[in-house]
Structure 1
């Protein structure tokens, strides 16, 4: 495959049934499936056993892993290829919570490598739609000691010491490793994270399945991974200036910008990185030298690092722009 074949790439969503999932990903984001209770749509994934497959253009049917091995730095950028090799560094999702998710947290890179041979799982959320009165759980109401935490865990009163955030569309949150969190019922959001599927579940609302069994908890593993004294900096304020990139989150693992467009925008990739666009409202066209790609609400496109210039055409569209 030659470099000039590279173009804006779309992938077939990997849909995940969840005990807490609902119908919004089908109804609002047009995800095609006979499954019920779809909780997650993995838009771009290099997680073992869940590798994304190209859905458009000359590369249709090829896996993300194959693209990485073939195109290397032309796909993800020189600096990224030096760090990650043939491993795509981000996992991109849409999530619909019909019921509350379990209360959980993720280990940092050091713990995840030691215990699971995995990356850690720093992530961010952009709320796309939220039913009235819905919320997210992020962190504790106030600073707490491990001893007090364990007492509440044993008494099954953990929610009483957690921080509930009422949310509406556009709200954005940065979830660092170690921070206790959960998506509440009625929230649909976009999630950007390190490539990792390592989650420590610490409380699941005493739910049981049809056989009376609760889901596995990971309280022993979680105890030394929890941040009990983290700063209250998880809610992100950002500008919404039209027709330009507005900074939302910038961390060592990813940068995410907000774009609200009603015109044609000429873009130049100066980042030595791939760029991902998640369409969170409206529709757009991504126009490169080799191909024009349509992007609807709930769709995601990967622009290889080798694509240095392109246009985005839109009339009333909101995009998340992600790169490293």
Structure 2
């Protein structure tokens, strides 16, 4: 029986653009210097999460899905996804700018890669002064203009620059050109996919002097060339309440500022619940079992659980499908 809040071992990713904040600020266990991503909950082949706590410690997420099925996922999710976990949950530290990129939609991803698409959202946990994102084009262009600008290394002139601060939230639909700028730590919620088309990488080279691969031809068919894409999400911050940030066909994310005790009821929620702690810490209790969630940690609540008690001072992202 799934009767306690489940934590997973973080899967840390060394990236050319990564820094040390996931280790020094979010307390991820690593001695490496360029940790760009912490995969908190993953069912990506080759990077499947492993339970870190309780009686199921050492069990893979894949084994949990095969054993507990709808008890873990929810009845409708199990019908839709079988034993495939539908979301990939990350924390990201960008010491340098990430590459300019785009993710294909479900149709393209299925045809080309036998994968889900990659609709995602970001919640900004920390931003250095002057930090910014690239989100969409600043004017509508054609695919021919796009290729010409790439060839002339002028693509940055048509990209939309967005300044950011802590607490900002963004929804990035497939097809939206985007990049995380230097000096940003964020929480990312996305479909389970690792399909990325890299468009431009600032002519960077690795330790061996090699430039990273670009995916110019693949990206042309995936891009939305319009400048009319709404990515910023405004939301309320009412204490001890579920403040809706994003609601789409792939996931729903609420922002919950917790002060003291908060009882959450999921009687009508046919889904697992994910909590990401983006500030502070708290105790999370289900079925008489308690687990502490600290800043930069993630907890999974099985779909069979209908009552959750949160005690502490923290800010959580609550994610369901």
TM-score bracket, normalised by the shorter chain, equals over 0.9
**Pick aligned residue for 2:13 from 16, 29, 32:** 16
**Aligned 1:159-174 pairs, distance under 5 A:** 159-174=156-171
Q: Secondary structure at the match of 1:282?
A: strand
Residues in 2 aligned to 1:48 and 1:140: alpha-carbon distance in whole angstroms: 33
1:175 counterpart residue number: 172
What TM-score, normalized by structure 1, do the two folds share?
Answer: 0.97
CA distance in 1, matches of 2:207, 2:292: 43
Match of 1:271 among 266, 269, 272: 269
The correspondence for 1:116, drawn from 84, 106, 113, is 113
Q: CA–CA distance in 2 between the matches of 1:290 and 1:118?
A: 38
Classify the secondary structure of the residue corresponding to 2:222. Answer: coil
**1:1-324 matched pairs, under 5 angstroms:** 3=1, 5-229=2-226, 231-269=228-266, 270-315=268-313, 317-324=314-321
Contact 2:3 2:289 in 1 (8 A): no
RMSD: 0.9
The separation in 1 between residues aligned to 2:180 and 2:196, in whole angstroms, is 14
Alignment partner of 1:262: what SS? strand
Q: Residues 279-305 of structure 1, C-alpha deviation per residue, up to 9 Å, x if partnerless?
A: 000001111114101000000000000
How many residues matched?
320
Aligned-partner Cα distance in 2 for 1:207–1:55: 36
Q: Distance in 1 between matches of 2:130 and 2:23?
A: 22
Write the distance in 2 (CA, Å) between the matches of 1:255 and 1:183. Answer: 22
The one-character-per-residue Cα deviations of 1:224-282 (angstroms, maximum 9, x if unpaired) are 10011263310000001111000000000000000001121111112100000000000
Distance 2:143 2:23 in 1: 41
**C-alpha distance in 2, partners of 1:144/1:64?**
43
Question: Which string of whole-angstrom CA distances, capped at 9 and with x for unpartnered residues, describes residues 93-131 of structure 1?
Answer: 000000000000000000000000000000000000000
Supply the distance in 2 between the matched residues of 1:179 and 1:246 (Cα, whole angstroms): 25
Q: Are 2:198 and 2:213, in contact at CA under 8 Å, matched by a contact in 1?
A: yes
What TM-score comes out, normalization by structure 2 length? Answer: 0.98
Secondary structure of 1:263's aligned partner: strand
Unaligned runs of 5+ in 2: none
Contact 2:103 2:118 in 1 (8 A): yes
Structure 1's consecutive aligned runs of 4 or more residues displaced over 3 angstroms after TM superposition are: none
In 1, the alpha carbon distance for the partners of 2:227 and 2:73 equals: 32
2 CA distance for matches of 1:322 and 1:78?
17
The answer to whether the Cα contact below 8 Å between 2:139 and 2:227 also exists between their aligned partners in 1 is: no
Contact 2:137 2:227 in 1 (8 A): no
